[in-house]
């Protein structure tokens, strides 16, 4: 399992586009928003928490199809399936690798991009906390979507269609934490619910992803 994680991280670094791509996409989305809605500081600072969350979500989505597609094409997935690793473990490691290469950089970059959107000062910590708690859920749910569409050629669009509705609760609670934090309200309730979703999907969804992957491999 550790070997698989190390290999995936090494590939992400060497192949390029692993760490950088999602991050650049996040940056571009954030830069485009002011062009779309206008440069007024009050408006931007009001929508900043939500924009950062949506940007992070889209950046996550962008790199999902790489989770299994490469291993599927070169036959590694078949070989991994016959290896002494449980399929649930494989999908969990894949989700973890995706989070480290995509989710974690987004969490770290969010405060910097917050400056561009004149994010209110009290919101910074909550944007970072909510993304840190919420992005693992995005990776795990995305892994399920990637496992569903792994056998389909050019399944990227289909995967977005399947995954985005599943992202709704995470997005709602995550953005709510950030927004309430920005307005100086109490964030306990949405934060707990967000953490609940994250822990719930980390604990349960790998079983569904593994089942789906087994079906796709046969």
Partner 1 sequence: MVLSVRDLAVTRGGLAILEGVSFDLSPGEALVLRGPNGVGKTTLLRSVAGLQPPETGTVTGAEDQIAYAAHSDGLKAMLSVTENLKFWASVFGLSDIEPALVAFDLTDLRNRMAGTLSAGQKRRLGLARLMVTGRPIWILDEPTVSLDVTSVALFADAVRMHLKGGGSALMATHIDLGLTEARVLDLTPFKAAPRTRQMDEAFL
Partner 2 sequence: MSLWEYANPVKFIRTTDKVLPWVWALTGICLVTGLVWGFFFTPDDFRQGSTVKIIYIHVPSALMAINAWLMMLVASLIWIVRRHHVSALAARAAAPVGAVMTLIALATGAFWGQPMWGTWWAWDPRLTSFLILFLFYLGYMALWEAIENDDTAADLTSILCLVGSVFAILSRYAVNFWNQGLHQGATLSLDKEENISDVFWFPLLFCIAGFVLLFVALVFLRTQTEIRARRTRALLAREGQA
Q: Which residues bind partner 1 (CB under 8 A)?
A: 2-4, 6-7, 10-11, 14-15, 71, 73-76, 78-85, 217-218
Q: What angle do CA 170, 172, 173 make, to 5 degrees?
A: 70
Q: Any contact of residue 36 with partner 2 (CB under 8 A)?
A: no
Shortest spacing between CB 94 and partner 1, in angstroms: 14
* C-beta of 101 vs 139, nearer to partner 2: 139
Non-local (6+) Cβ contacts of 158 within 8 A are 149, 152
Out of partner 1, partner 2, none, which partner does residue 190 contact, by CB within 5 to 8 A per kind? Answer: partner 2
Distance CA 2, CA 138 (A): 22
Residues 173-202 that bind partner 2 (CB under 8 A): 173, 176, 179-180, 189-190, 193, 197
Out of partner 2, partner 1, none, which partner does residue 85 contact, by CB within 5 to 8 A per kind? Answer: partner 1
212 in Cβ contact with 205 (< 8 Å): no
Q: 172-189: b or e for each residue (b if 16 or more CB lie within 10 Å)?
A: ebbbbbbbbbbeeeebee
Distance CA 76, CA 40 (A): 51
Residues 105-164 that bind partner 2 (CB under 8 A): 144, 148-149, 151-152, 155, 158, 161-162, 164
* C-beta of 44 vs 205, nearer to partner 2: 205
Q: Which stretch binds partner 2 (CB under 8 A): 25-33, 39-47, 49-57, 167-175?
A: 167-175
| CA 10 from centroid of its chain's CA atoms | 19
Distance CA 38, CA 47 (A): 12
Could you count the other beta carbons within 10 Å of the beta carbon of residue 13? 12
* C-beta of 99 vs 173, nearer to partner 2: 173
Shortest spacing between CB 17 and partner 1, in angstroms: 11
Distance CA 218, CA 202 (A): 25
140 closest CA partner among 197, 194, 181: 197
Which residues in this chain contact partner 2 in the complex, by CB under 8 A?
Answer: 144, 148-149, 151-152, 155, 158, 161-162, 164-166, 168-169, 172-173, 176, 179-180, 189-190, 193, 197, 205, 208, 211-212, 215-216, 218
């Amino acid at each position: 399992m550790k070997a698989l994680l190390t290999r995936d991280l090494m590939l992400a670094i060497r192949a390029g586009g692993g760490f950088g791509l999602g991050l650049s996409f996040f940056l571009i989305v954030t830069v485009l928003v002011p062009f779309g809605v206008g440069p007024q500081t009050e408006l931007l600072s009001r929508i900043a928490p939500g924009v950062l969350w949506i940007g992070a979500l889209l950046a996550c989505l962008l790199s999902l199809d790489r989770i299994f597609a490469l291993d599927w094409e070169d036959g590694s997935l078949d070989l991994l399936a016959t290896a002494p690793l449980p399929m649930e473990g494989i999908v969990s490691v894949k989700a973890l690798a995706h989070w480290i290469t995509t989710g974690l950089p987004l969490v770290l970059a969010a405060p910097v991009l917050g400056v561009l959107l004149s994010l209110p000062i009290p919101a910074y910590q909550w944007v970072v906390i909510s993304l840190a708690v919420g992005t693992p859920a995005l990776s795990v749910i995305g892994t399920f979507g990637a496992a569903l569409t792994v056998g389909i050629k050019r399944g990227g669009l289909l995967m977005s269609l399947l995954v985005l509705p599943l992202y709704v609760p995470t997005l709602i609670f995550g953005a709510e934490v950030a927004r309430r934090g920005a307005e100086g309200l109490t964030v306990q309730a949405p934060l707990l619910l967000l953490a609940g979703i994250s822990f719930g999907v980390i604990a349960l969804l790998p079983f569904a992803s593994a089942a789906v992957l087994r079906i796709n491999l046969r």
